[in-house]
Amino acid sequence: MKREFLEELGLEQEVVEKIMAENGKDVQAEQAKTTAAETKATKLETQLTSANETIKSYKDMDIEKIKESATEWETKAGDLEKELTQVRNEALLDKELSTVNTHDMETLKKLLNHEELIFKDGEVVGLKEQIAGLRESKAYLFKETKDPETKDPEDNRFDVYKAPDGAGGAKSVVETQLDTIFNI
């Protein structure tokens, strides 16, 4: 609507201003609706283009290959999970065996029946029983644990009634003199 048209009708200036203000509000509201509709149409066109490209890429795909690849990755993930569990169990077994007073931990590990060991909650169930059995059957694998209060009958270093003979770790008088003579 034009201002001149209203003025030609003989309307007062104040009335013309009010009509133009009201008309401006209506025009702005319609422009906002048009802008919103154009924005929505642009977004929908973009989505449609993207969807068509995706559909086209799916047409080119080999579904059997994708299924095969997924199965292959599941198998690899399962294998890696088993390997990780095995590494964790070996580390836990090594930790537990480090507390056993043994000469050779690797030999001891080989003698254990790993199928009877159960790894559960950070413990190795059945290990103590197998170690106890090996202590009896293969005592040479384990270091002797001596109580410091008990005296070894072979150790005569501190027996005042018997001369040291070297068996307890102390050298006899003759051994000391031989060492001095030959500078050993």
Question: Which pLDDT score, from 0 to 100, does residue 122 have?
Answer: 84
Q: In the chain, what is the straight-line distance between the N-terminal and C-terminal CA atoms, in Å? A: 125
What pLDDT, on the 0 to 100 scale, is given for residue 112?
Answer: 92
- Mean pLDDT per 10-residue segment, the chain (184 residues): 82 86 83 88 91 82 84 92 91 88 88 90 90 90 68 55 58 78 77
Beta bridge mates, 123? 120
Model confidence, pTM = 0.45
Residue 73 pLDDT: 92
